[in-house]
C-alpha cells in the first residue's frame, strides 16, 4: 500500500502555478497582440504625420490634436457620442428592466420567448444594421407602409435623412440591439435574489411597485449597473450602426468619435489625426471599466 | 371563533403526482400556540405557506377570522410570517426593516416610528436600529424578524422553523424567549418545526403530520402519552416508543417505563431483557436489548434514570417490567390504536 502511494509521481497537471500560467497565456498573448500593441501604436501615430500614402514616422508633437480641435466636426462627434451613449443607456436600462420582468414571469413557452428575445443580440451588428437600413429606407420602408396604412402619415418619412430623425433612428437601433443583453443580465440578477425576501415583502403587504422599487431594484442594483455599463460601452465603441445607416450624415449630424476617426484615419488616409480622434475614447472607457469592476466587487462583498 | 381554519385542504405538485397536502382539516383557537410537527417533506411548510397565501391550494379553503381568504394575495390576509432564513431586507437598516410593513399599509411617519420603537423595546433590540442585517448575529436577526412581524398587529403569526438557523445553545434560550414573547402578546401562532423538543416545549397543541396528513392533534402530554398510531409513537420521544410484536398487535411502551422488575410495583407486565449494549447519556442509562412477549424477539430500549442503581451489564439477561397502565396497543396492519390485549403474565 505505502509502496503503491510513493510510486504515484507528482505530475505537471498537479502544479497550480504552472497550470495557471498555461491557461492564462493564450489570453495574455491575445490581449497584448490585439489590444496592447494597437493601443501603443495609436498613441504613437497620434503624435506623427503618418498617412496612408506616406507611412514614415515623423514626430509632429501636438499638431494632430490642434488640427482636430479646430474642426467643428470633431466637437460634434464628441457631443454625439455622449448624447447617443447616455440616451441609449437610459433607454436600455428601462426597457431591459421591463423585458426582464416579463421574462421572469412563469408562463408556457417562456424558453422559446427567451430565445427569440436574445436574437437581436446574437445577430452580427453589421447584418442587423443592414436590415434596419432597409426597414428605414426612404422609399420602400415597411414602417412607413404600416404608418401610411394606419393613416398616421401621408408621405414617406426620411428616417435617415433628417437630422432629428436620423439621430433617433441610430439610438433606436442601438437600444433594439442591446436591450436583450441588458434584460438577460438583469434577469440573472433577479433570479439570484433569495425567494424568501420577495415572499416576505408580499406577506408584509407590499404591492407590485413597492416590491419592485424597494426590494428588487435595490437588491439587483449592482447587476443593473453592469447592464447599464455594458450598454454604454457597446454604444460608445460601436461604429457599425452609424456607418451602415447614415455614414455620419446628414451633414455630420450623426457622426460619432469612432466613425469620425475611421473617416479621417482610414478613408481620409490621415492616420495621425484618426488616431488622435480615437484616443478620446480611452478616458471614458477607462472610467466605465473601473465602474464595472467596482460594481462586481460590491456584489461579491454583499 | 377560530382564528385560522383550513377545510379539506389539498395541494398537489407536479401535475397531481405529489400530494404535499392530502386532505387537512384544522382550526386554531384564539391565542393558541399550535405547532405543526413532522419529518421533512411531510407537508408542514406547504400547509403554512398555503395559509399565508404563498401557495394556492388545489382544493379546499383557508379561513382567517371567519372569512374565506383562499383566493386572496398574502397582503390582504393580515398575517405575519417569519421565514426560516428570517428574510430580512439586506439593504435596509433594522429600523427600515421593522417599519416596512407599516409603510406598506400607509401609516404616517410619526405613529409608525413609535410602533417600531415599541416592538424593538419588546424584543430588546433598540440599540441595533441603525445597523444593517449583515452586521447582526443570528439571534439578533431573529429578533428583528419577530419585531417586523409584530408591528402590524397581525391576526396570526406564522413561524417557519425560526430556530433552526441558531446554534444549539442559543436555540434553547431563544425557544424560551419565543414562548414568553407569545404569552405576552397573546397572538395566535402557528409554528412549523421538525424538532420535537421545540414542539413539546412551545406548543399548546401539536399537530403531528406525515405524508400530507395530520396523524394526531392534541396537547403535548396527550401526543406523548397517548399516540394515535405507530407513526406518532415512534416519531415523538427520544429514544422512541418501544413496539413489541405480539400476534396482530404491537405492544408499545416508553423507554422510561421499562425498568428493572424490583423497581416496578403494582400491576405490571414482566419480560426478560437480553442486554446487548449500554449508553450513558446525561445521567440516564440507555439499555439496548431484545425482549420476547409473543413469538419473535423485538429490539427495545430502556431508559433508566440516575436514581435506579441496579447493576446491569451487556451480555446479561435481566428481568424488567412495565406498569400495566403504561402499555399502549396498536394494530399491526393499520398502525392505529387498538383495544388492550390481556398479556399472559
Residue of A nearest to B77 (CA): A203
* B chain contacts of residue A200, beta-carbon cutoff 8 Å: 81, 83, 87, 89
Q: What is the mean pLDDT of residues B131-140?
A: 90
B152 touches chain A (CB under 8 A): yes
pLDDT in tens, B152-175: 888 899 999 988 888 888 888 888
Pairing of strands B298-304, B284-291: antiparallel
Q: Is A210's CB within 8 Å of B74's CB?
A: no
Nearest to B75 among A202, A215, A219 (CB): A202
Most confident of A32-36, A247-251, A298-302, B175-179: A32-36
Do residues B127 and B93 lie in contact, with contact meaning Cβ atoms separated by under 8 Å?
Answer: no
A212 touches chain B (CB under 8 A): no
B107 touches chain A (CB under 8 A): no
pLDDT at residue number A251: 82
CATH of domain A66-301: 1.10.3720.10
Q: Is the pLDDT of residue B312 over 70?
A: yes
Of B316, B155, B334, B91, nearest in space to B231 by CA? B334
Nearest to A203 among B74, B85, B134 (CB): B74
A70-84, A138-152, A268-282, B17-31: least confidently modelled range: A138-152
The rounded distance, in Å, linking the Cα atoms of A260 and A263 is 5
Q: Which cell numbers hold the place of A194? A: 433569495
Nearest to B89 among A197, A199, A202 (CB): A197
Q: Which cell numbers hold the place of A223? A: 447587476
Could you give the 3-state DSSP secondary structure of residue A59? strand
* Residue A152 DSSP class: S
Q: Is A206's CB within 8 Å of B75's CB?
A: yes
B317 touches chain A (CB under 8 A): no
A224 touches chain B (CB under 8 A): no
Burial class (CB in 10 A: 0-12, 13-18, 19+), A74: buried
Q: For residue B169, how many other CB atoms are within 10 A of its CB? A: 8
Q: Is the pLDDT of residue B241 over 70?
A: yes
Largest separation between any pair of C-alpha atoms in chain B: 75
Percent of chain A with pLDDT over 90: 22
* Residue A10 DSSP class: P
Do residues B304 and B287 lie in contact, with contact meaning Cβ atoms separated by under 8 Å?
Answer: yes
Could you give the 3-state DSSP secondary structure of residue A48? strand
pLDDT at residue number B76: 87
Phi, psi of B277 (to 5 degrees): -160, 150
pLDDT in tens, B92-110: 999 999 999 999 888 899 9
The rounded distance, in Å, linking the Cα atoms of B23 and B106 is 38
* B chain contacts of residue A213, beta-carbon cutoff 8 Å: none
* A chain contacts of residue B148, beta-carbon cutoff 8 Å: 204
Q: Is the pLDDT of residue B145 over 60?
A: yes
Strand partners, B209: B214
Do residues B76 and B65 lie in contact, with contact meaning Cβ atoms separated by under 8 Å?
Answer: no
pLDDT at residue number A6: 60
Do residues B10 and B23 lie in contact, with contact meaning Cβ atoms separated by under 8 Å?
Answer: yes
Q: Is B79's CB within 8 Å of A302's CB?
A: no
The rounded distance, in Å, linking the Cα atoms of B254 and B303 is 9
pLDDT band per the 50, 70, 90 thresholds, residue A106: confident
HEC string for chain B: CCCEEEEEEEEEECCCCEEEEEEEEEECCCCCEEEEECCCCCCHHHHHHHHHCCCCCCEEEEEECCEECCCCCHHHCCEEEECCCCCCCCCCCHHHHHHHHHHHCCCCHHHHHHHHHHHHHHHCCHHHCCCCHHHCCHHHHHHHHHHHHHCCCCCEEEEECCCCCCCHHHHHHHHHHHHHHHHHHCCEEEEEECCHHHHHHHCCEEEEEECCEEEEEECHHHHHHCCCEHHHHHHCCCCCCEEEEECCEEEEECHHHCEECCCCCCCEEEEEEEEEEEEEECCEEEEEEEECCCCCCEEEEEEECCCCCCCCCCCCEEEEEEEHHHCEEEECCCCEECCCCCCCC
Percent of chain A with pLDDT over 70: 95
Please report where in the chains the cell 426560516 appears, as a residue.
B84
Q: Is A203's CB within 8 Å of B79's CB?
A: yes
Q: Is B148's CB within 8 Å of A204's CB?
A: yes
Instruction: Supply the mean pLDDT for chain B.
Output: 89
B90 touches chain A (CB under 8 A): yes
Sequence spans of domains, chain A: 1-46, 66-301
Q: In what order do the strands lie in the sheet with B213-218?
A: B79-82, B156-160, B188-193, B33-37, B205-210, B213-218
* A chain contacts of residue B88, beta-carbon cutoff 8 Å: 197
Amino acid at each position: 500500500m505505502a509502496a503503491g502511494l510513493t510510486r504515484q509521481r507528482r505530475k505537471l497537471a498537479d502544479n497550480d502555478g504552472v497550470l495557471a500560467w498555461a491557461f492564462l497565456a493564450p489570453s495574455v498573448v491575445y490581449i497584448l497582440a490585439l489590444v496592447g500593441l494597437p493601443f501603443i501604436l495609436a498613441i504613437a501615430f497620434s503624435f506623427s504625420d503618418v498617412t496612408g500614402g506616406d507611412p514614415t514616422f515623423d514626430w509632429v508633437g501636438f499638431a494632430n490634436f490642434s488640427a482636430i480641435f479646430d474642426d467643428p466636426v470633431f466637437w460634434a462627434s464628441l457631443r454625439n457620442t455622449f448624447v447617443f451613449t447616455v440616451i441609449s443607456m437610459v433607454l436600455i436600462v428601462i426597457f431591459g428592466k421591463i423585458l426582464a420582468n416579463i421574462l421572469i414571469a412563469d408562463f408556457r413557452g417562456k424558453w422559446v420567448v427567451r430565445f427569440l428575445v436574445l436574437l437581436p443580440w446574437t445577430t452580427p451588428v453589421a447584418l442587423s444594421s443592414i436590415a434596419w437600413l432597409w426597414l428605414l429606407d426612404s422609399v420602400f420602408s415597411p414602417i412607413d407602409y404600416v404608418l401610411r396604412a394606419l393613416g398616421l402619415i401621408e408621405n414617406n418619412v426620411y428616417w435617415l435623412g433628417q437630422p432629428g430623425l436620423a439621430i433617433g433612428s441610430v439610438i433606436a437601433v442601438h437600444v433594439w440591439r442591446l436591450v436583450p443583453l441588458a434584460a438577460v443580465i438583469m434577469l440573472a440578477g433577479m433570479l439570484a435574489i433569495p425567494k424568501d425576501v420577495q415572499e416576505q415583502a408580499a406577506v408584509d403587504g407590499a404591492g407590485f411597485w413597492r416590491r419592485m422599487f424597494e426590494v428588487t431594484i435595490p437588491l439587483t442594483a449592482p447587476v443593473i449597473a453592469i447592464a447599464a455599463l455594458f450598454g454604454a460601452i457597446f454604444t460608445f465603441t460601436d461604429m457599425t450602426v452609424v456607418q451602415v445607416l447614415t455614414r455620419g450624415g446628414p451633414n455630420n449630424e450623426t457622426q460619432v468619435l469612432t466613425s469620425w476617426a475611421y473617416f479621417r484615419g482610414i478613408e481620409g488616409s490621415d492616420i495621425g489625426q484618426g488616431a488622435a480622434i480615437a484616443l478620446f475614447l480611452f478616458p471614458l472607457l477607462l472610467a466605465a471599466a473601473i465602474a464595472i469592476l467596482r460594481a462586481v466587487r460590491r456584489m461579491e462583498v454583499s | 371563533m377560530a382564528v385560522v381554519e383550513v377545510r379539506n385542504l389539498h395541494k398537489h405538485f407536479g401535475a397531481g403526482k405529489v400530494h404535499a397536502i392530502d386532505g387537512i382539516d384544522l382550526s386554531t383557537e384564539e391565542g393558541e400556540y399550535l405547532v405543526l410537527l413532522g419529518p421533512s417533506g411531510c407537508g408542514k411548510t406547504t400547509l403554512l405557506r398555503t395559509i399565508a397565501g404563498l401557495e394556492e391550494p388545489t382544493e379546499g379553503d383557508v379561513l382567517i377570522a371567519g372569512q374565506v381568504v383562499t383566493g386572496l394575495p398574502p397582503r390582504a390576509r393580515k398575517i405575519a410570517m417569519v421565514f426560516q432564513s428570517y428574510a430580512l431586507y439586506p439593504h435596509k437598516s433594522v429600523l427600515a426593516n421593522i417599519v416596512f410593513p407599516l409603510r406598506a399599509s400607509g401609516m404616517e411617519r410619526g405613529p409608525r416610528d413609535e410602533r417600531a420603537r415599541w416592538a424593538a423595546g419588546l424584543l430588546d433590540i433598540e440599540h441595533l436600529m441603525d445597523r444593517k442585517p449583515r452586521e447582526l448575529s443570528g439571534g439578533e436577526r431573529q429578533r428583528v424578524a419577530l419585531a417586523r412581524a409584530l408591528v402590524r398587529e397581525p391576526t396570526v403569526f406564522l413561524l417557519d422553523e425560526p430556530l433552526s438557523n441558531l446554534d444549539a445553545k442559543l436555540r434553547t434560550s431563544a425557544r424560551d424567549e419565543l414562548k414568553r414573547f407569545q404569552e405576552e402578546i397573546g397572538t395566535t401562532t402557528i409554528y412549523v418545526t421538525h424538532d420535537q423538543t421545540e414542539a413539546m416545549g412551545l406548543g399548546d397543541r401539536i399537530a403531528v403530520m406525515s405524508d400530507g396528513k395530520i396523524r394526531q392533534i392534541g396537547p403535548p402530554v396527550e401526543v406523548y402519552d397517548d399516540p394515535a398510531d405507530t407513526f406518532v409513537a415512534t416519531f415523538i420521544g427520544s429514544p422512541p416508543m418501544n413496539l413489541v410484536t405480539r400476534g396482530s398487535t404491537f405492544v408499545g411502551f416508553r423507554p422510561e417505563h421499562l425498568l428493572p422488575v424490583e423497581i416496578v410495583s403494582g400491576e405490571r407486565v414482566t419480560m426478560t431483557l437480553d442486554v446487548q449494549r449500554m449508553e450513558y447519556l446525561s445521567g440516564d442509562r440507555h439499555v439496548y436489548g431484545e425482549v420476547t412477549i409473543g413469538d419473535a424477539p423485538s429490539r427495545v430500549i430502556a431508559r433508566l434514570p440516575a436514581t435506579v442503581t441496579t447493576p446491569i451489564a451487556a451480555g446479561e439477561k435481566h428481568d424488567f417490567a412495565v406498569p400495566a397502565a403504561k402499555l399502549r396497543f396498536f394494530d399491526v396492519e393499520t398502525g392505529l390504536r387498538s383495544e388492550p390485549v390481556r398479556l399472559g403474565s
